[in-house]
Structure 1
Amino acid sequence: MDNIGKKESLTIEFKSDDPRLSDNDIVEVVVGFSNTEGGELYVGVEDDGHITGIHKDHKNPHSLGAVISNKTVPPVSVRITIIGEVRPCVLVEVPKSSSIVMTSSGKILKRRLKFDGTPETVPMHPQEVLSRLSNLNRLDYSAQPVLNATCDDLDSSERNRLRKIISSNRGEGNLLDLSDKELDMALRLVTKVDDHYVPTVTGLLLIGKENSIRTFLPTAEIAFQVIEGTDVRFNESFIKPLLSAFEMIEEYMKAWNPEREVQSGLFRIPISEFDQRAFREALVNAISHRDYTILNRVRFLINDEGLTINSPGGFIEGVTIENLLTVDPHGRNPTLTDALKRVGLAERTGRGIDRIYEGSLIYGRPWPDYTESNSTSVNLFIQRAAPDEAFTKMIYQEKNRLGRSLPINSLLILSVLKEERRADIHRIAELTHINEKKSKVALEQLSEAGLIEARGTGRGRTYMLSSKVYLKTSSLIKYERQRDIDSLRQAPLILQLAEKQGFVTRKDAVELLHLAEPQAYRVLKKLVEEDKLVLQGRGRGAKYLLKE
């Protein structure tokens, strides 16, 4: 093998070993990988992937592994493999670390891509170390004292606003009985440093003076923009105490969020272009979970396609797009998030993401989209879409019947069935990211409530929305179409096809009737028993002919 067959990337690095590559160069790449996404280091390979071989000092994997372990803090355990025989190279597989790693000489490094797309290993700046620790849940940046700030940097009028919010949002009522100093301590807005109290990052963000926030936390910028076509209709950026910022953004949103009504019996259902409760949770999430060590702004953009919310800082360790709705709730800034929960601004269960999804699901709209998120930002997109009125009425009526909202798993499943028309439990679990056991429980509950119908048994069992979705609408045509082919019509259709092409196979029946293979087999078997078809052959070659 003359070429390694790969290209350098954020997680792949080639190093020539001719002349001998220094141990420090190897260790620095290992540290960079550990502090980023992990990766593969190939020693004895040129930048173009051409294998030139390794120096004799690097032919012993155990010795090389010991060097790496001894020169990294904490020690990094790597897997080393010798590749090839005639002109061997070394593969060093480096895991992503769950802490900050440095060289024994004190260098903290990371991997990044240059403008031309090639990778490099560079030092991590102090704020990047804080960001990394925050992402790993090893540091609560929002609980840190603000250096050089004093309690004079807190605004008494913002503290009064905080008290009003606690009262109006049904926060923890006992907080209102506390003095200002006690309130600040209870919400960890201040912390003790050298026998005196100073504001924490949370304190300055929530009730700090505007000029003080600009001075000490210039990263706390927020932008609200409205673009129609290519015309900018509204564009404002600001740095303010978060409590004041929340109120401003909600007022801006009201002006650009039209509402319509859907009639359901004697009641009218108000439906906003973007669900107000969902937006509030998305607003709180964007501001409370953002990375305040990154000099960037939280951006709210409304355009012809929909609403986009961009928040600096990627998902924290353990959170992915796939497990957003199932992972245990935990955030980047626990102290800030806890304060927002206690004053009544944030969802107390930590499941605000459920409410964001609910705001689209209950109206039969497309799901919130996080697919544009990356390692440096979380991007939420909520598409503009007209509500499905029949679906909305069904959800509204069921909510009234139960006296509560439907569980998020039930809403996800109903949404999938609305789009897929019919699906089995494997498909439902795949699309919702709900495991099959929980999916089965939700499906049984929905079936008992009469919201879905099940057809078939065993592995061939499928589910579809019930006629409730379309009751009291102009017609039941959609429901009839969704039911596919009624069982009473299955036999005549099979016989018609057999007459046209001379025979029918099990595969033909599956495609014609939209049934699982076991169900199609039972239909064909019944026609044979009724002397309407004759089975010819066995296995895959079996055919069913009309009986003469």
Structure 2
Amino acid sequence: MEQIFKPLSSSTEVKCIKGVGMNQAALSTLLDGLMVTWENEVVEFKQAGNDYDTDKIGEYFSALSNEANLRGADRAWLVFGVHNKSRTVAGSDYRPEPERLQGLKGQIAQSTEPSITFREIHVLKHPAGRVILFEVPPAPRGIPIAWKGHYYARAGESRAPLGLDKLDEIRQQTLQADWSAQIIADASLADLDETALGKARESFAKKYANRFDATEVMNWPLATFLDRAHATQNGAITRTTLLLLGKPESAWRLSPHPAQLTWKLDGPERAYEHFGPPFLLSTTQLYRRIRNIQLRLLPQDELLPVEVSKYDQKIVLEALHNCIAHQDYTRNGRVVVIEQPDKLIFESEGSFFEGQPEDYLEGNKVPRRYRNPFLAQAMAELNMIDTMGYGIHDMHARQARRYFPMPDYDLSEAGVVRLTIYGSVVDPAYSRLLIQKTELPLVDVLALDRVQKKLPVPDTAAARLRKAGLIEGRKPNLFVSASIAKATASLEDYLRTRGQDDAFYLKLITDYLAMKDGASRADLNKLLLDKLSEALSEKQKAIKISSLLTKLRRKGTIVNVGSDTASCWKLAEK
């Protein structure tokens, strides 16, 4: 609707746009603004005589109300007394009696579904004639307006039936309603926590240090600050206000939606604690419950270990703040953080709202929409999150700089997002590699992380890692390559994983047969099974032994003097 009134600028004219203070001068200015932009989906002009059909007015009401909803306008206008072709004021004698004119409101309310009518009917005594401006409210979110059972819309300057696409768009609005922007009736500034408000001002001032002096921010009236931080709406307390800044004892105003964060210790020792608003402070309090000890990683050929904390505070708070910002609060769930001996698991209600976690790994995807846009905006203003999609990328990059496994997202349970942050080493080879090769791009770190977790690796990534000498083995049994393994484990451990080349096994078989007068397949299995790579399954080991025997038989080195079911292998006579 702002575009319609773009020519207007004075404070009086702004009031006209909002339907406030409609004196004759203001109505004249409003009419001039409407005529400059002329007819569109939310403005209709008619000359209209005294006998103008009420059904047609009802149809225009339905069309303008629905279009105002679809375009996010706060009102639409049906104007009588303006000649459509000449675009001049011609005057209208429609219902000259004030009582009869205002009675139209009741007629419209009786035949609209749901019942709704003009917000106001204004009469302008223009020098060129009488002009009537009908102020049409937008259709409620999710509810299209019908006139006598039929839905109408606009097609340019014409009235038309409301198409299925527009009908669906309006009806789906309730599914997309912003829970976090809803105003809490009877809530006031007295429901807010003083400490949280002080912290909020500090965070806002820090974020906008290049625009506002910190003293200026601290001296703003509280209502002014909260509006600027997008936590309130024109001074009204919202659900976002109470979630982030509310007193714990005011959380009941959000019922039945639980405003709660839960920390649970799961392991040899068990404990839990619940945290309510204000979430601006509660997330730090929850973080302090987590047992965050120092760990030591020993690089290759060095005596001094690298010390890192078990968990990075910024990663933990980023994960927790994301849970708060993106949770589906209509599911009446809470955010749960489960601390296990080697990892943290974050659980929140609601599916991933836009895209998939992997879309954000490289930090290039910018989300176009949020489940809770009002809450997300307020959290961004208070420096809790960013709204550019960098969070997931930054968590992975920081975890890589700490030489730890990458975070894992689990979306297997419908309506639940589960994130795991590791606080221990999965494969020492992986961690020591990251210590040695700090220049590895994140895409390679992500692929190596899948190798260490025995997860499938895309063919292109596997080929790239193999070419760089970072992995070896055959899919699906990929493992750290020789140069890395030797730097991360003892030779015995490495050989047990890597295995030997075929020449070693062939020599072992022939030496064994030279000392025995024949050997069964069971004998050879006993000889070889514990010497083959532990990366091979039992079936793959059996196939490997068969392949070795076939190779020796074809070379004429050994022969089977038994049968297929009861083999007896001997060295061939020369």
What TM-score comes out, normalization by structure 2 length? 0.50
- Give the corresponding residue for 2:292: 257
Given the alignment, which residue of 462, 479, 482 partners 1:464?
479
Alignment of 1:346 with 2:385, yes or no, is yes
- Give the corresponding residue for 1:140: 178
Give the secondary-structure state (helix, strand or coil) at the position aligned to 1:500.
coil
Which whole-Å deviations, capped at 9, do the CAs of 1:108-129 have from their partners, x for residues lacking one? xxxxxxxxxxxxxxxxxxxxxx
Which whole-Å deviations, capped at 9, do the CAs of 1:418-443 have from their partners, x for residues lacking one? xxxxxxxxxx43xxxx6xxxx22322
In structure 2, the CA distance between the partners of 1:278 and 1:290, relative to structure 1 (3 Å rule), is same
Alignment of 1:532 with 2:568, yes or no, is no
- How far is the alpha carbon of 1:500 from its aligned partner? 1.9
The more displaced of 300-309 and 235-244 is 300-309
- How far is the alpha carbon of 1:446 from its aligned partner? 2.4
Letter in structure 1 aligned against 2:469: G
- Give the corresponding residue for 2:240: 202
User: Counterparts of 2:245 and 2:258 in 1: how far apart (Å)?
Assistant: 16
Which whole-Å deviations, capped at 9, do the CAs of 1:282-318 have from their partners, x for residues lacking one? 322332233333555434454668645443x243578
In structure 2, the CA distance between the partners of 1:522 and 1:223, relative to structure 1 (3 Å rule), is closer
Letter in structure 2 aligned against 1:315: S
In structure 2, the CA distance between the partners of 1:349 and 1:531, relative to structure 1 (3 Å rule), is farther
- Give the corresponding residue for 1:446: 465
- Give the corresponding residue for 1:480: 495
User: Counterparts of 2:201 and 2:463 in 1: how far apart (Å)?
Assistant: 45
Structure 1 gap segments, 5+ residues each: 1-99, 102-132, 418-427
In structure 2, the CA distance between the partners of 1:443 and 1:227, relative to structure 1 (3 Å rule), is closer
User: Counterparts of 1:175 and 1:446 in 2: how far apart (Å)?
Assistant: 47
In structure 2, the CA distance between the partners of 1:487 and 1:442, relative to structure 1 (3 Å rule), is same
In structure 2, the CA distance between the partners of 1:530 and 1:225, relative to structure 1 (3 Å rule), is closer
In structure 2, the CA distance between the partners of 1:263 and 1:497, relative to structure 1 (3 Å rule), is closer
Alignment of 1:336 with 2:371, yes or no, is no
User: Counterparts of 2:381 and 2:444 in 1: how far apart (Å)?
Assistant: 24
Which runs of structure 2 are paired with 1:3-42 in the superposition (5 Å)?
Answer: none
Give the secondary-structure state (helix, strand or coil) at the position aligned to 1:350.
coil
Given the alignment, which residue of 446, 450, 454 partners 1:409?
446
Which whole-Å deviations, capped at 9, do the CAs of 1:99-148 have from their partners, x for residues lacking one? x99xxxxxxxxxxxxxxxxxxxxxxxxxxxxxxx89x9623322333344
Counting aligned pairs with the same residue, the percent is 23
In structure 2, the CA distance between the partners of 1:248 and 1:489, relative to structure 1 (3 Å rule), is same
- Give the corresponding residue for 2:8: none
Alignment of 1:243 with 2:275, yes or no, is no
- How far is the alpha carbon of 1:160 from its aligned partner? 4.5
Given the alignment, which residue of 227, 231, 236 partners 1:189?
231
User: Counterparts of 2:210 and 2:512 in 1: how far apart (Å)?
Assistant: 75
Letter in structure 2 aligned against 1:204: L
User: Counterparts of 2:351 and 2:429 in 1: how far apart (Å)?
Assistant: 36
- How far is the alpha carbon of 1:363 from its aligned partner? 5.7
In structure 2, the CA distance between the partners of 1:318 and 1:494, relative to structure 1 (3 Å rule), is farther
User: Counterparts of 1:207 and 1:150 in 2: how far apart (Å)?
Assistant: 12
- How far is the alpha carbon of 1:532 from its aligned partner? 2.6
Structure 2 gap segments, 5+ residues each: 1-141, 144-171
User: Counterparts of 1:167 and 1:492 in 2: how far apart (Å)?
Assistant: 75
- How far is the alpha carbon of 1:478 from its aligned partner? 1.5
Give yes or no for contact 1:222–1:299 (8 Å, CA) kept in 2. yes
Which whole-Å deviations, capped at 9, do the CAs of 1:132-189 have from their partners, x for residues lacking one? x89x962332233334445675667645523533566xx5766757976787556542
In structure 2, the CA distance between the partners of 1:376 and 1:518, relative to structure 1 (3 Å rule), is closer
In structure 2, the CA distance between the partners of 1:530 and 1:176, relative to structure 1 (3 Å rule), is farther
Give the secondary-structure state (helix, strand or coil) at the position aligned to 1:447.
helix
- How far is the alpha carbon of 1:281 from its aligned partner? 3.1
User: Counterparts of 1:201 and 1:286 in 2: how far apart (Å)?
Assistant: 16
Give yes or no for contact 1:140–1:333 (8 Å, CA) kept in 2. yes
User: Counterparts of 2:522 and 2:294 in 1: how far apart (Å)?
Assistant: 57
- How far is the alpha carbon of 1:366 from its aligned partner? 10
- Give the corresponding residue for 1:28: none
Which whole-Å deviations, capped at 9, do the CAs of 1:37-90 have from their partners, x for residues lacking one? xxxxxxxxxxxxxxxxxxxxxxxxxxxxxxxxxxxxxxxxxxxxxxxxxxxxxx
Given the alignment, which residue of 221, 224, 227 partners 2:260?
221
- How far is the alpha carbon of 1:482 from its aligned partner? 1.0
- How far is the alpha carbon of 1:483 from its aligned partner? 0.7
Give yes or no for contact 2:258–2:332 (8 Å, CA) kept in 1. yes
In structure 2, the CA distance between the partners of 1:496 and 1:416, relative to structure 1 (3 Å rule), is farther
- Residues matched between the structures, number: 375
Alignment of 1:393 with 2:432, yes or no, is yes
Given the alignment, which residue of 315, 335, 339 partners 2:351?
315
Letter in structure 2 aligned against 1:451: L
Q: RMSD over aligned Cα, in angstroms?
A: 5.4
In structure 2, the CA distance between the partners of 1:228 and 1:503, relative to structure 1 (3 Å rule), is closer
Give yes or no for contact 1:503–1:546 (8 Å, CA) kept in 2. no
Give the secondary-structure state (helix, strand or coil) at the position aligned to 2:292.
coil
- Give the corresponding residue for 1:48: none
- Give the corresponding residue for 1:23: none
Give yes or no for contact 1:223–1:297 (8 Å, CA) kept in 2. yes
User: Counterparts of 2:273 and 2:530 in 1: how far apart (Å)?
Assistant: 56
Give yes or no for contact 2:396–2:406 (8 Å, CA) kept in 1. no
- How far is the alpha carbon of 1:405 from its aligned partner? 4.8
User: Counterparts of 2:318 and 2:235 in 1: how far apart (Å)?
Assistant: 32
User: Counterparts of 1:289 and 1:213 in 2: how far apart (Å)?
Assistant: 19
Give yes or no for contact 2:407–2:420 (8 Å, CA) kept in 1. no
Which whole-Å deviations, capped at 9, do the CAs of 1:314-346 have from their partners, x for residues lacking one? 435788xxx654688776424423543565433
In structure 2, the CA distance between the partners of 1:267 and 1:236, relative to structure 1 (3 Å rule), is same
Give the secondary-structure state (helix, strand or coil) at the position aligned to 1:261.
strand
Which whole-Å deviations, capped at 9, do the CAs of 1:477-521 have from their partners, x for residues lacking one? 21111112323314335657885237999xx99999656999989
User: Counterparts of 2:270 and 2:541 in 1: how far apart (Å)?
Assistant: 52
Given the alignment, which residue of 253, 270, 281 partners 2:318?
281
User: Counterparts of 1:352 and 1:543 in 2: how far apart (Å)?
Assistant: 64
User: Counterparts of 1:172 and 1:223 in 2: how far apart (Å)?
Assistant: 32
